[in-house]
Amino acid sequence: AAVETAPAIVVGSGYGGAVAALRLGQAGITTLVLEMGRLWNTPGSDGKIFCNTANPDQRSMWFKTRTEAPLASFLWLDVVNKDITPYPGVLDRVHYDNMSVYVGRGVGGGSLVNGGMAVTPRQSYFTEQFPTVDATAMYNTYFPRARTMLGVNTVDPTWFESTEWYQFTRTSRKAATNTGLTTTFVPNVYDFGYMQQEAAGTVTKSALAQEVIYGNNYGKKSLDKTYLASALGTGKVTIHTMEKVKAVTRASDGSYLLTVDRIDNTGAVVETKQYSCTYLFLGGGSLGTTELLVRARDTGTLPALDATVGAGWGPNGNTMVGRANHIWDTTGANQATMPVMGIDDWSNTDNPVFAEIAPLPIGFETWVSLYLAITKNPQRASFTYDSASGTVKLGWTAAQSAVSVAMAKKLFDRINSANATIYRSDLFGTPSKLFADDFCYHPLGGCVLGKATDNYGRVKGYSKLYITDGSLVPGNIGVNPFVTITALAERTMERVLAEDT
């Protein structure tokens, strides 16, 4: 088959890929983006592009026969998940030993399915994790640029205090305050002006209609509405969807050669394509990028890749937990799907935890306070290539998850003790499993900045090969990660376009 050639190719259209595509396009460089998921712009028979969490259909998940929602059960009953037809749906759950990882699939990557929380890490911890990065430039230039481009906004505090949709958050805040803990509002990319109109009944509901992990039909400024729309607007950027990059090698003239499977809606490979480019930007996310490079190094297609490719992975200390409130502390039948507050105990050097107050939007009173705790778990794992099966494996262990659980437990034991409350034991499948420690939303690392790459994401061992995504972040950043990923990508693109092109 003929080789299609582009000056620059970007793999993936999540945060890292979207920033690369826009900045390349603005620099006048013709750029092709290859994305394995769909373009989510066509309504189904119900008139909606995405389905909600209450009635998931084939659009919900990436080639599964049954949905795999994070909360597997309620009152120990398997009432949450539904049988579906395999289809290139928007949310994937990738299974490794002891850890499964949720990721978005489609034009916009994780921005299509995430909770929109747009949090800038505290500077002291950013510096601890990225000692070689100029923090002043990050906090003066790249973080503000990322927040502006992403459309970050905050909930109106007056409306927050009065609306039924955030009663669940106020109840969790009260329990934290009773414990002497600090809570903090967190910004979001969901348009809170739109949300207030939803509450007023003047627009079609999305965050107030149980839409989030399988996509939001309205209100959310996902990347297809921000960076990627601007990238396409340069006239220099093209996106090919349903095309999965499976191998990368380098030709003798220094250009990169990509082998790509184009799939159809059943997942069948309908064409295997060859692409070539001068500049290659990897934005497949922590899993996608690391898998490509570990495979390339260990099968010998890019043999000069550094030994640290594959290392330094962590789940951002993610642990989910639910508390049972007293009967008088209701959390509300109506809950907005976008979190707006966290318990910030990161400065507690004994046990640093940032816990997002998460919704349980199932339409009736549950008395559950749910949290996604981000713990300062120092454990890291590596991806390795298994030549027998031809797959890439992740070496995360249950003992490593237990470190996150112990930290979350320390915090929530304090909250339960101060409020005379208990854990909910019916939410995570197995009876009496109190902490969800076997899945994460925040995969980070695998190609850590300054180790697998130089200080700007240039891959060691090869020129004109770059990483711009979450694989650069060393396993933990202490808050929800997409603002950090976006800001680092902005920093890389500014440097690369000034020096390498």
Return residues touching ligand FDA (CB under 6 A).
Answer: 11-17, 34-37, 102-106, 109-110, 113-117, 213, 244-245, 283-286, 288, 292, 441-442, 469-470, 480-482, 485
Residue whose CB is less far from ligand FDA, 35 or 438: 35
Of 356, 365, 494, 499, which is the active-site residue?
A: 356
Q: How far is the CB of 334 from ligand FDA (least distance, A)?
A: 20
Integer Cα distance of 188 and 358 in angstroms: 13
The amino acid present at 26, given as its one-letter code, is Q
Query: Strands 341-345, 353-358: parallel, antiparallel or unpaired by DSSP?
Result: antiparallel
Residue whose CB is less far from ligand FDA, 281 or 423: 281
Is the separation of the CB atoms in 475 and 380 below 8 Å? yes
Is the separation of the CB atoms in 257 and 3 below 8 Å? yes
Would residue 442 show up in a list of annotated catalytic residues for this protein?
yes
Is the separation of the CB atoms in 59 and 214 below 8 Å? yes
Residue whose CB is less far from ligand FDA, 167 or 337: 337
Q: How far is the CB of 14 from ligand FDA (least distance, A)?
A: 2
Of 198, 442, 490, 499, which is the active-site residue?
A: 442
Query: Strands 368-375, 383-386: parallel, antiparallel or unpaired by DSSP?
Result: unpaired
Integer Cα distance of 383 and 387 in angstroms: 13
Q: How far is the CB of 475 from ligand FDA (least distance, A)?
A: 13
- Phi first, then psi: what are they for 290, rounded to 5°? -65, -40
Measured CA distances, 492 to 24, 56, 233 (Å): 12, 38, 22
Residue whose CB is less far from ligand FDA, 224 or 329: 224
Backbone region of residue 312 per phi and psi (left: phi > 0; alpha: psi in -120 to 50; beta: other values):
left
Q: How far is the CB of 496 from ligand FDA (least distance, A)?
A: 16
Is the separation of the CB atoms in 41 and 69 below 8 Å? no
Residue whose CB is less far from ligand FDA, 37 or 332: 37
Would residue 490 show up in a list of annotated catalytic residues for this protein?
no
Burial class (CB in 10 A: 0-12, 13-18, 19+), 480: buried
Q: How far is the CB of 112 from ligand FDA (least distance, A)?
A: 8
The token pair that represents 14 in the structure block: 């999540």
Q: How far is the CB of 35 from ligand FDA (least distance, A)?
A: 5
Integer Cα distance of 464 and 297 in angstroms: 17
Question: Of how many residues is the chain composed?
Answer: 501
Integer Cα distance of 416 and 179 in angstroms: 9
Residue whose CB is less far from ligand FDA, 419 or 475: 475
Taking alpha carbons only, the member of 441, 208, 217 closest to residue 318 is 441
User: Token match 């609306």: residue?
Assistant: 163
Residue whose CB is less far from ligand FDA, 151 or 288: 288
Is the separation of the CB atoms in 319 and 159 below 8 Å? no
Q: How far is the CB of 429 from ligand FDA (least distance, A)?
A: 18
User: Token match 């400024």: residue?
Assistant: 221
Q: Which residues are catalytic?
A: 356, 442
